[in-house]
Chain A
């Protein structure tokens, strides 16, 4: 069942065209990977889907309803949550307060005790550090907190923007296991990464962006290494 549809999206970023005619879709219980080198347009795409940017033309539909004109705070209420690049946790709030504010929307508040238990079960380290300020956490712990905070909003679709950035291999492995567990709970997942190998291994479907256009799409197991290199680097 398709939950997110992007149709013919064109986005301009500061006077220059960042995305050209992007069309993609995500189903529930599916991990979709969006790959591309720096500057390919991944961040712009995610900012537009989450409502931080407005498209020039095209449409974005979530559960069949158009969301491309909505602000981020309304989109979160509908069940679409972004875990932003660079984690962006609240440094002056404690771990627990970060998670609590994650359940800010009215629907999320009702189920916050249960969700908190889920998050602590996924990330026991967060429970250990629950009264510590966000700024005192390590990079990996901050990433866990950012994911936990996103989960508190009861999302139906969760988008991860470069979660492995700056983290060691053990932490990355743990995070990807978590991503799979999240998929198993019935959510749709969009993974945006620069780490091509790992995300292609994890994803059910992938899109590769190059200079703002989709250069390759399909099921990762059907891709050849040649195809991926060409789509990624354009050589």
Chain B
């Protein structure tokens, strides 16, 4: 098989070798001691031509089921992606450059980051956003560490309705710092129990993290949590896993949040078995020097013309090394590009309508499901596009029967919440037509 990615001809190679003054390519590796050189070929599959390769992977992809209807969110949301997002983001000029280290050659990427930062700031109601983080889970950890740098302390309060995977990631990241994580349970209505938080908070506490809409889809009373945080003089951090909700709900910034972070997969990124997704983080301007990751800023060139550069790099690892605000280098720039195209395509009215559509579909489904005997809606607080339902009977057989009907009936909760037996977290978005919702609900009714 010919390596089609080598432009040099055999004649070129010979000329280059003779220019260097050696006779074979093997001599190029003389600095690698003989004992390390491979003695036998690597045992890899035989190389493939393009057609065979495509067929091979298509066959593997068919082992995944694409014919099922997902009523599942839990941190990764099925949404429709406008055609311009795929079309524009697949341009080589966006896909194949490096991080914009040479701004004069990267004004496209840099302006996109600047627009992205503006969109995220305005959506979350915060003053400043960075260029992106890996995903919602690592954004949680980065936000907690940022809060810790701003306001030293030893304790952080975390709502138990913060996404379980985000809490686990937070634990992994904080394990080697002297920071203790205290989980605040939820109340009967699915919101954070601030009475419990009141008992745990002390002078060593530096921050509280809540998610809204929380993992149960419940919209938190951010005013209450904010008042609590301000009263205790601790930082107020808000996580968002379903970013579409920002099109409908009052932004966390309006409630005095100090840092707003989360997952923006809903903004134009396909489900893709979990990645690549898009972590975001935004904060008050006062804290910008403690922010992790890349930030683009506006400046002028030597003729006074507007341009964009990466800025505040003295926070970053390539300058500050072990004293950097984060080790992040490569982030999710291309995912942030997709989010930017997505949000600008929807625009102000579009995003607000889409969010309302999500809310209305879920509200419709909730009303219908709530009427089925043998099922109850677990929490009576307002929800966005997800909610928890509890079955009287064991969940598993019903869940499997629904699978046979082609439905993924949400995310079973008992593994992560011991007291939520026979409960699932259901999700409804614009992709679910009334007809499909009706069929799903009808089927649940039949199976109970």
Instruction: Indicate whether A and B interact.
Output: no
A residues neighboring B (CB under 8 Å): none
